[in-house]
Structure 1
Amino acid sequence: MSKRELSFLSSSENDPSTEPPLSATDEYVGESDENVERGNWSSKTDYLLSMIGCAVGLGNVWRFPYLVYRNGGGVFLIPYTLMLAMAGMPMFFLESSFGQFASLGPFGVWKAVPMLQGLGMSMVFASIFGTISYNCIIAYSLFYLFASFQSPLPWSDCFSWWGADETCSRTPRDPLCNFTLDSIYFQIVNTTWLHSRNKTCSNESEIHVLYQSPTEQYWDKVVLHRRGSMDEMGAIVWHIALCLLLAWLIIGAALSKGIKSSGKVVYFTATFPILQYCLFSYSFYNLGWEPGAYQNSSQLGPAPPKAGAALNILLEETFLNAFDKFHPVKAFGTITISVHIGQNKITLNLALLNLKLNLKILYICQVWRDATTQIFFSTAVAMGGVTALSSYNKFHNNCYRDTIIVCVVNCATSVFAGFAIFSVLGHMAHVQDKSVSEVVQSGFGLVFIAYPEALAQLPWAPLWSILFFTMLITLGLDTQFANIETVVTSLLDQIPKFPRSKRLYLTIAICLLFYLLGFLYITQTGIYWINLIDHFCDGWSMIGIALLELLSLSWIYGTNRFIKDIEMMIGEKNWLFWLWWRVCWRFVSPCVLAVTLIWSLATFAPPTYGSVEYPVWAILFGWCLAILSIAWIPIVAIVKITQAEGSTLCQKISAACRSAPDWGPFLKQHRVGRYHKRSNSAEALNDESHIVKV
């Protein structure tokens, strides 16, 4: 044995931190990574795009535009922005800095307050529930993507080859009339026939004919094979099962090397939707629709020729009516903006409006609740993803700057998506001679019924459809990358002996398990289950988890202590810098979340899918799932208190709230100040695996 080997053996016996790093292999750890146990992001761009992709999801497309319209249009941006500042950003900053400081996932970080480690488990379970159902939506999008490679699009008309029945119609059917002839005979006739003969039908004699549009029937009959109620389980829809398998294969492949591979995939999946928003907004503004589409806008002056029909409808019916709900909007001039791109000249004619902001809408509690819940959907907090992704940052990464970038980009994308979505719906309203309020929908109805119907009416419809559903798929995949990474990271943190080189097998096993669990959602009643999970597990439970997270770190762990931890990473700041964050973490954000939670529970309404009501057993099952996702919090707390030292209950609770001995920065070189004498997490992971080969 050489002197060098003997020297290394001697030092390793006395200092476990000198042990060679685990064989994490180059697949998971790069040469520039400071954390050789877990690995780090290959670049700052990888992290930012992954975080933006996690935050910018399907909710930006199918939920935010609908909430804007329902809650007064543009005036909804006021509570939305305020909730971002008072709840969204403080929570995002808290979670991202928490995970980065300890380099641990959503379960491991709660060594800071061991009694509340159940919060981490609740986050992971909420992430699991959301992941399984969310991937089914990606499967639907994949099916529509494959169906889009046809001309004409299959849902563009009532084609018999896919099973359209007699109730299918592209246009509303005229009502029938139980008409009296010669005061003796009764005959059911078409109201159009009556009007052509200058006759009318009394209201009590009208018979309304039920009909479904081609997109509705295609969604129900071809995609879902939907049953009439949740009591009828039905068979597995195998074409959706294959699409679901493909979705999981894509996710597994993207996460094959953990953040090293997913951090490269997001260069496409995170940027493609934003490019699509630009393309949709510009193309629908300049497709050359007739000026007549600029309906009900006489007060705004003449319409710009062949431009902006849909966007004008958007501005008039959504944002402008919102700013001025009860007073007329008047124009006092126009601005013409010309932009030269190559040889092309883009001209926008903007009306200068005298807007009278209607602040009465801000007195409605529902508006503020919707703003708060949408912020949580947008920023992806309280799901564990922010903590998990941030745990792979280098210790001295500026998490404060990242918070500002991610939150601003995410909310700006939501607003931009609103323009893109309503530009299409505005055109659809014009073509069907309806108001926007008659075509606007939320959720599945928007992305799988209303939007495909609008796309089918455009020139080059298959191309638009391919682009749209590709955008939906990439939006969903980004979120799924973060959700699966949350689960994998939490498991690896709790199983330190698990070889990092086998991480791929763990990822495959998780994807396979979730695929099998997702079979419930791809039956003929699967859409009811997805809607049920979304209703019970993705709303108030997230707000409750976030509230406890804030209270535990602010009032148990301590705001001052937490701020000092952050300053170890980003450097010391003056008291003025921390004033806003300190006030939000201790008072403002908890109050906002508590009021929102109480209001959500007080106004709870049973879920419905369209006109279909859920049976009692389904609602009870939904409550059980919601309780299951948060039950870990009291269960773990009771276990920790029972195991804690102390002769009285107060002493046990105090001991259970005390940080674990190995709490602090993951690496020894970052353990300074009060963490200097604590054992670091890397040593704790390897306490039982010190093997030196001679």
Structure 2
Amino acid sequence: MAPERWRHHLDYLITLLGGSIGSGSLIKFPYLCMRNGGGAFLIPYAIFTFLGAIPCVFLEMVIGQLSQSGPINVWNLCPPFKGIGFGIATVMWLYVTYYMAIFAWFMYYFYHSFIAKLPWATCDNSWNTPACITNIDSSILNSTSANVTNLTLIVVNTTTTGNYTNVTDTVMTAAEEFWKLQALQMTDGLEDLGGIRLPFVGLMAVTCVVMFLVTFQGIRVSGKVVYVTVGVPIILVFVFLIQGCLLPGSADGIYFYVHPKFEKLLEPGMWIEACSLALYSLNIAMGNIITMAGHNRVTNNCFRDVLIVSIADMLCLILVGFAFFAIIGHVAYLRGVPVEAYESSGFNLAFIIYPEVMTYLPLPHVWSALTFLALMTLEVDSMLPGLEIILAAVEDMFRGLAKHRWAVISTILLTNFLFALPCTTQGGIYVVTLMDWYTYFPAVAVFAMLECVAVSWCYGLERLNQDIRAMWGKKVPQAMMLSIKYVCPLLLLVRLQTMVNRKQY
């Protein structure tokens, strides 16, 4: 049975771009730039994108389009490696499971952005402790610069997690107390999950309904939805950039971003992290490139597509960096601290730093709502391909179920919902972090290495070249093939080693 076709080729490109950007672009990229010398980080990131990421994406596009199938049957070209497809489908099921919980967290913050008084802006709420530190008011800002500097440094460096410097074990900002004491009602560790947070259960149920409505009609609907879920965040990033540039201090933030600290290039860790980001940002070995390419016509030019998607993804990340550092520059100016003071990653950046930063902007409710709207739409872009991959894997194994797509998707979402319930407990953040560390990120690097080995060493690059000439009648540069065979496995090995030694959050 022939696979469902894209109504328009642009639907395919936008879907891949949405899956590549994801909510991680607003979390991971700014942190890595700040951590690694601003503009200097863009140099190795661009190098590894062209040297390793583009060849890997090209490989997946070619075999997906050639096989015209999902993540399991694609390995009919090299049957001993069919386990890659089963592994990818399993990992993507776990991925969608804990991303549903993260999406519920974003929705929780989006809802609270419409409350008359932002709950993470003040310390007079019922959950706040006596040690809570609120944002600096105008009277303090008008005091002497020395006092402002002393106070704001304490405010910035009070968290006990992430990359902050501990001042005390009890002092937390209002934004941190809202996240830990009100939103999560966080326990002390994984061994104590506590009770279920009913608001998150309800929001996850809403998430399941939304994802069902988007996916049950196939790529005819989801291929159009991505125009919204990709377009809205990009428009909002432009809005943030324009607004940020109009605020005092934004130039300092942008200068930090674009001014390269070339001495950072001498640090091996910077190159390793740039390599990891380049390979991560394009969703290599996550199955969505293979699955989405399987809906193309066999004669489609994959080489053109991989250049479009990869370069567009890089430009979007760079744009996010400009918007982020413009806003951070303004907040650092108000507080009298350097831009580097806001170095944080993962959940700390998304649920503590971002909400706190929004309180310093004009009309904070509007900016907070827009921020979490962007994160929610990007999270949809991340989950959509995941569901399509799982569905394609099921159809690869049980062809008859293709006629009952709605039932299969309902079953998948129901199992995701049930297994995500531990993520909605008071210790749910520990469960999400554990799944992130040990089931998702290390696995995809292993699968990517196996893909390169299976195609370049077992199937053979010469046979692959013949297939490419038969598909669209043109050869690809020999450097691309050599990179797939030699360079990509080495870079993926480096990325795997990085994941083993360093946690993602």
Length-normalised TM-score, structure 2: 0.91
Q: Secondary structure at the match of 2:295?
A: coil
For residue 45 of structure 1, what is the amino acid of its counterpart?
Answer: L
Q: Secondary structure at the match of 1:69?
A: helix
Count of aligned residue pairs for this structure pair: 478
Cα offset, 1:377, TM superposition:
2.0
For residue 244 of structure 2, what is the amino acid of its counterpart?
Answer: F
- Within the candidate set 360, 385, 397, 2:288 is matched to 385
> CA 1:233–1:595 in structure 2 vs 1: closer, same or farther (change >3 Å)?
closer
The answer on 1:71 being equivalent to 2:36 is: yes
Cα offset, 1:595, TM superposition:
3.6
Q: Does the Cα contact within 8 Å between 2:17 and 2:309 map onto a contact in 1?
A: yes
Question: Corresponding residue for 2:253?
Answer: 314
For residue 122 of structure 1, what is the amino acid of its counterpart?
Answer: G
Question: Corresponding residue for 1:681?
Answer: none
Higher relative contact order (CA 8 A, sep 6+): 2
The answer on 1:597 being equivalent to 2:504 is: no
- Within the candidate set 239, 242, 248, 2:202 is matched to 242
Counterparts of 1:129 and 1:425 in 2: how far apart (Å)? 34
Larger radius of gyration: 1
Counterparts of 1:209 and 1:378 in 2: how far apart (Å)? 35
Range with bigger deviation, 119-128 or 233-242? 119-128
Counterparts of 1:597 and 1:164 in 2: how far apart (Å)? 41
- Within the candidate set 247, 250, 267, 1:364 is matched to 267
For residue 443 of structure 1, what is the amino acid of its counterpart?
Answer: G
The answer on 1:527 being equivalent to 2:491 is: no
Q: Secondary structure at the match of 1:104?
A: coil
Q: Does the Cα contact within 8 Å between 1:373 and 1:539 map onto a contact in 2?
A: no
Q: Does the Cα contact within 8 Å between 1:105 and 1:387 map onto a contact in 2?
A: yes
- Within the candidate set 134, 143, 147, 2:99 is matched to 134
Cα offset, 1:208, TM superposition:
5.8
> Could you list the per-position Cα deviations for residues 425-450 of structure 1 after superposition, in whole angstroms to 9, with x for gaps in the alignment?
22221222211121231111111111
Q: Secondary structure at the match of 1:548?
A: helix
Cα offset, 1:156, TM superposition:
1.3
Alignment of 1:423-438 (within 5 A): 423-438=326-341
Question: Corresponding residue for 1:583?
Answer: 482
Cα offset, 1:159, TM superposition:
2.7
Question: Corresponding residue for 1:47?
Answer: 12
Counterparts of 1:261 and 1:211 in 2: how far apart (Å)? 49
Q: Does the Cα contact within 8 Å between 2:442 and 2:496 map onto a contact in 1?
A: yes
Q: Does the Cα contact within 8 Å between 1:149 and 1:462 map onto a contact in 2?
A: yes
> Could you list the per-position Cα deviations for residues 2-60 of structure 1 after superposition, in whole angstroms to 9, with x for gaps in the alignment?
xxxxxxxxxxxxxxxxxxxxxxxxxxxxxxxxxx6321111111111111111111111
For residue 129 of structure 2, what is the amino acid of its counterpart?
Answer: D
Cα offset, 1:608, TM superposition:
9.7
Cα offset, 1:148, TM superposition:
1.0
Question: Corresponding residue for 1:184?
Answer: none
Counterparts of 2:246 and 2:287 in 1: how far apart (Å)? 42
The answer on 1:549 being equivalent to 2:451 is: yes
Cα offset, 1:597, TM superposition:
3.1
Alignment of 1:553-572 (within 5 A): 553-572=455-474
Alignment of 1:16-415 (within 5 A): 37-160=2-125, 162-171=126-135, 210-287=170-247, 289=248, 309-310=249-250, 312-320=251-259, 323-324=260-261, 358=262, 360-415=263-318
Q: Does the Cα contact within 8 Å between 2:254 and 2:326 map onto a contact in 1?
A: no
Counterparts of 2:5 and 2:412 in 1: how far apart (Å)? 22
Counterparts of 1:284 and 1:411 in 2: how far apart (Å)? 21
> CA 1:59–1:608 in structure 2 vs 1: closer, same or farther (change >3 Å)?
closer
> CA 1:41–1:240 in structure 2 vs 1: closer, same or farther (change >3 Å)?
same
For residue 113 of structure 2, what is the amino acid of its counterpart?
Answer: S
Identity of aligned residues (%): 29
Counterparts of 1:368 and 1:536 in 2: how far apart (Å)? 23
> CA 1:400–1:211 in structure 2 vs 1: closer, same or farther (change >3 Å)?
same
For residue 364 of structure 1, what is the amino acid of its counterpart?
Answer: E
Q: Does the Cα contact within 8 Å between 2:69 and 2:291 map onto a contact in 1?
A: yes
For residue 129 of structure 1, what is the amino acid of its counterpart?
Answer: L
> Could you list the per-position Cα deviations for residues 109-168 of structure 1 after superposition, in whole angstroms to 9, with x for gaps in the alignment?
0001101101111111221222111121111111111111122212111132x4212121
More strand by share: 1
Counterparts of 1:452 and 1:440 in 2: how far apart (Å)? 15
Q: Does the Cα contact within 8 Å between 1:361 and 1:367 map onto a contact in 2?
A: yes
Q: Secondary structure at the match of 2:178?
A: helix
Question: Corresponding residue for 2:319?
Answer: 416
The answer on 1:458 being equivalent to 2:361 is: yes
Structure 1 alignment gaps of length 5 or more: 1-35, 173-191, 196-206, 290-308, 325-357, 610-694
The answer on 1:506 being equivalent to 2:408 is: yes
Q: Secondary structure at the match of 1:497?
A: helix
Counterparts of 1:424 and 1:137 in 2: how far apart (Å)? 24
Counterparts of 2:499 and 2:109 in 1: how far apart (Å)? 34
Cα offset, 1:469, TM superposition:
0.7
Structure 2 alignment gaps of length 5 or more: 137-146, 151-166
Question: Corresponding residue for 2:388?
Answer: 485
For residue 299 of structure 2, what is the amino acid of its counterpart?
Answer: H
Counterparts of 1:84 and 1:535 in 2: how far apart (Å)? 23
For residue 261 of structure 1, what is the amino acid of its counterpart?
Answer: V
For residue 86 of structure 2, what is the amino acid of its counterpart?
Answer: M
Counterparts of 1:318 and 1:279 in 2: how far apart (Å)? 18
Cα offset, 1:384, TM superposition:
0.7
Counterparts of 1:455 and 1:208 in 2: how far apart (Å)? 25
Counterparts of 2:411 and 2:169 in 1: how far apart (Å)? 51
Cα offset, 1:108, TM superposition:
0.8
> CA 1:264–1:230 in structure 2 vs 1: closer, same or farther (change >3 Å)?
same
Cα offset, 1:570, TM superposition:
1.8
Question: Corresponding residue for 1:515?
Answer: 417
Q: Secondary structure at the match of 1:539?
A: helix
Cα offset, 1:209, TM superposition:
8.3
Cα offset, 1:412, TM superposition:
0.8
Q: Does the Cα contact within 8 Å between 1:156 and 1:457 map onto a contact in 2?
A: no
> CA 1:401–1:516 in structure 2 vs 1: closer, same or farther (change >3 Å)?
same
Q: Secondary structure at the match of 2:191?
A: coil
Cα offset, 1:600, TM superposition:
4.7
Counterparts of 2:94 and 2:276 in 1: how far apart (Å)? 18
Q: Does the Cα contact within 8 Å between 1:440 and 1:450 map onto a contact in 2?
A: no
Q: Secondary structure at the match of 2:206?
A: helix
Q: Secondary structure at the match of 2:10?
A: helix
Q: Secondary structure at the match of 2:486?
A: helix
